[in-house]
Amino acid sequence: MINYILKIEGISKRFFTNKVLDDINLKIKKGEVHAVVGENGAGKTTLMKIIGGIYTSSEGKIIFDGCKVNFSSPQEAINSGISIVHQELSLVPKLKVAQNIFSHREPVNRLGFIKWAELRYKAKQILKHIGVDIDPSTLVGDLSVGMQQIVEIAKALSQNAKIIIFDEPTSALSEKEVNLFYQVINDLKSKGVTIIFISHKLTEVFKISDKMSVLRDGKLIGTRKTKETSIEEIIKMMVGRELGNLYPDKSSHIGEKIFSVKGFSRKAKFEGIEFDLYKGEILGFAGLVGSGRTEVARSIFGAEKPESGEVILEGKKVEIKSPRDAIKNGICYLTEDRRNWGLFLEKTLRQNIIAASINKFVNKRGFLKNREIKEKAKHFIDYLNIKPADDKILILNLSGGNQQKTLLAQWLNAEPKILIADEPTRGVDVGAKAEIHKHLRKLVESGVGVIIISSELPEIIGLCDRIAVFNEGKITGILEKDATQEEIMKYATL
């Protein structure tokens, strides 16, 4: 008899009339690292939230450690030994590490006063247990995102979790932090803690999981032992069909120089950044998180101010002091953080599509040309295959992939000469990812210069014609398209 710590039997979840999870059956062994993969909207996060007591299921039951459980709040789940490390960190930046680890479970005396010394001591113990050296009195807001993630894990451990659920744990971590994270996972596993985690990064899933389950459209497609499956099989299960070539063909013709950046510097962020962009090529910015790629892009775009440096577009020097100047000159920037910096979630698809180009849709006296706006929105919905094809739907009702396509539409609509796309496929499912890649390639072929910033090396290698590698605020090498992952990593960590 195998000892299953968690058995999920016939779980379904409906939001109003919409069935998000449909009869999920899953068994997870004690001490197993179990990955849950699937496209956006497949129901992974919902399933995890049901296990963690944040949502309640509409049907079915969960058997945890041999007992049927029915959590009605995250607190109950935590008390039973199931903790979630959330995708958006759930820490309070203005409080100390120790307070965050023991949030609402601080050691107190009989009158409810916090015993500070004991709190610090206990926090220190747990951090030591994980093997990191963080002062428990540090404010969480002063830690790097990676360290914050570690604090989250410490929090889960302090709850004596038997199962820890991670939702996209590494999406914001630097390479070094990712390795520390893998170590912690292995360590936890050896101590008999069961790990369930959601990830979009299949390479990562293959590296650390024992088993993986694939969800699609709210149904469990299958569970495989990691050793006995392949990336191709998992992708096929995820999208329900074979993807042909993952990336579009590379450029057939590289033309003249259209854009260059010279001597870009900003104290403590980046220094002496220089590169050229040629017609018909996609230039990739590779590097670790925090290597200065996004800052350079935002500075070119005028969203931040560089201390020195110039931008030359089509042979002429351009002055860019604000995003407005950049857009006027045809330099566009597609942000890495669509929810906070890119989209207008409570506005309609149509309004979002014209957001960066309102000035193109007004007449001489500044009045909106509604017919043109409507036609343009319809055009982009068809062109990018945005679903649902209703230009009056609010963006927050769209899936991640369709939101990202909307963001792309927003910038295509601004008719860029140069488009800098920062993590253009972050948090996007495999199908939409391929579509976005195809459109970026098409854009280049129409004569637009495209720069891609991506933390996924396969994407950089698969899509780009040349690769500029960033390392601690400098470009350490510009590689040709046949570069390997090892080569890039060498320049990135030099």
Partner 1 sequence: MSLNEKFRTITKVKNLGLLTTIVLIIIGMAIFFPRFLSPINIEILGMGFVQEAIMALGMTLIIISAGIDLSIAGVMPFSAIMVGIFLNNNFGITVSILLALLLSALVGFVNAQMINRLKVHPFICTLATLTTLRGVNLVITKGETVTGFPPAFYFFGQGRVFGIPFPIFLFAVMAIAFTYLLKNHKYFQQVYFIGGNINSARYSGINIDRFIIFIYVLNSILAGIAGIITASQYISANTGFGIGIELRVITVVIIGGVSLSGGKGNIGGTILGILFLAIINNTFVQTGAPTYWQEVVYGSMLLIAVFLEEYIGAKREGTGVLKRWREFML
Partner 2 sequence: MINDKAKNSSQLIMNSSSGHLSRLKEILDTREIGLLLIIFVASILLSIFSENFLTFSNLTSVAIGMNYDVLLALGMTLVLLSKGIDLSVGSILGLTGIITTMLLQAGVSILFAVILGLLSGTFLGFINGIFIAKFRINPFIVTLGMMAIARGLSVILTSGYFVSNLPEGYLIIGQGKFLGIPNPTYVMILFVILFDYLLRKWGPFYKAFYIGTNPDAAELSGINVSSIILAGYVISGFLSGLAAIFMTSRLAMGYAQFGLGAELKAICAAIIGGASMGGGEGSIVGAFLGVMLLAIINNGFVLLNLSIYWQGVINGLILVIAVTVDAIRRARKGKSRV
Of residues 465, 419, 427, 423, the one with CA closest to residue 247:
465
At position 364, the amino acid (one-letter code) is: K
Scanning 9-17, 82-90, 203-211, 366-374 for contacts with partner 1 by CB under 8 A, the matching segment is 82-90
Residue choice 41, 74, 280, 330 for contact with partner 1 (CB under 8 A) = 74
Residue choice 73, 186, 370, 397 for contact with partner 1 (CB under 8 A) = 73
Residues 120-149 that bind partner 1 (CB under 8 A): 138-139, 142
Pairwise CA distance, residues 307 & 199, whole Å = 38
Residues 6+ apart with CB under 8 A from 105: 158, 159
16 contact choice in partner 1, partner 2, none (CB below 5 to 8 Å, kind-dependent): partner 2
What would you report as the CA-atom Rg of the chain, rounded to the nearest whole angstrom? Answer: 24
| Strand bridging mode 316-318 / 308-313 | antiparallel
Of residues 39, 481, 410, the one with CA closest to residue 219:
39
Angle between the N-to-C axes of helices 430-445 and 231-239, in degrees from 0 to 180, rounded to the nearest 10: 90
Is the separation of the CB atoms in 40 and 429 below 8 Å? yes
Asked if 100 is part of the footprint of partner 1 (rule: CB under 8 A), the reply reads yes
Q: How far is the CB of 254 from partner 2 (least distance, A)?
A: 30
In the stretch 31-60, what mask flags binding to partner 1 with x, by CB under 8 A?
Answer: -----------------------x------
Pairwise CA distance, residues 174 & 164, whole Å = 21
Residue choice 1, 3, 72, 104 for contact with partner 1 (CB under 8 A) = 104
108 contact choice in partner 2, partner 1, none (CB below 5 to 8 Å, kind-dependent): partner 1
Pairwise CA distance, residues 394 & 388, whole Å = 11
At position 207, the amino acid (one-letter code) is: K
Residues 434-463 that bind partner 1 (CB under 8 A): none
Q: How far is the CB of 355 from partner 2 (least distance, A)?
A: 5
Choice between 72 and 245, CB closer to partner 1: 72
Contacting positions for partner 2 (CB under 8 A): 15-18, 20, 301, 303, 322-324, 326-328, 333, 335, 340-348, 350-351, 355-356, 358-359, 361-362, 366-368, 370-371, 373-374, 391-392, 394, 396-397, 410, 414
Choice between 267 and 364, CB closer to partner 2: 364
Choice between 106 and 429, CB closer to partner 1: 106
At position 28, the amino acid (one-letter code) is: I
> Cβ atoms within 10 A of the Cβ of 73, count?
12
β-strand partners of 8: 26, 62
Pairwise CA distance, residues 423 & 46, whole Å = 25
Choice between 317 and 328, CB closer to partner 2: 328
305 contact choice in partner 2, partner 1, none (CB below 5 to 8 Å, kind-dependent): partner 1
Residue choice 7, 30, 69, 103 for contact with partner 1 (CB under 8 A) = 103
Asked if 304 is part of the footprint of partner 1 (rule: CB under 8 A), the reply reads yes
Cis before 169? omega within 30: no
User: From residue 382, how far is each of 249, 336, 395 by CA, in Å?
Assistant: 23, 24, 16
At position 235, the amino acid (one-letter code) is: I
Residue choice 63, 116, 345, 361 for contact with partner 1 (CB under 8 A) = 116
Of residues 33, 27, 21, 32, the one with CA closest to residue 9:
27
Asked if 257 is part of the footprint of partner 1 (rule: CB under 8 A), the reply reads no
56 contact choice in partner 2, partner 1, none (CB below 5 to 8 Å, kind-dependent): none
Choice between 245 and 340, CB closer to partner 2: 340
Is the separation of the CB atoms in 161 and 83 below 8 Å? yes
Residue choice 211, 266, 433, 466 for contact with partner 1 (CB under 8 A) = 266
Q: How far is the CB of 324 from partner 1 (least distance, A)?
A: 15
Pairwise CA distance, residues 491 & 472, whole Å = 11
Secondary structure of residue 95 in the 3-state scheme: coil
Is the separation of the CB atoms in 389 and 412 below 8 Å? no
In the stretch 461-490, what mask flags binding to partner 1 with x, by CB under 8 A?
Answer: ------------------------------
Footprint of partner 1 (CB under 8 A): 54, 73-75, 78, 84, 86, 88, 90-95, 99-100, 103-106, 108, 111-114, 116, 138-139, 142, 266, 304-305, 307, 340
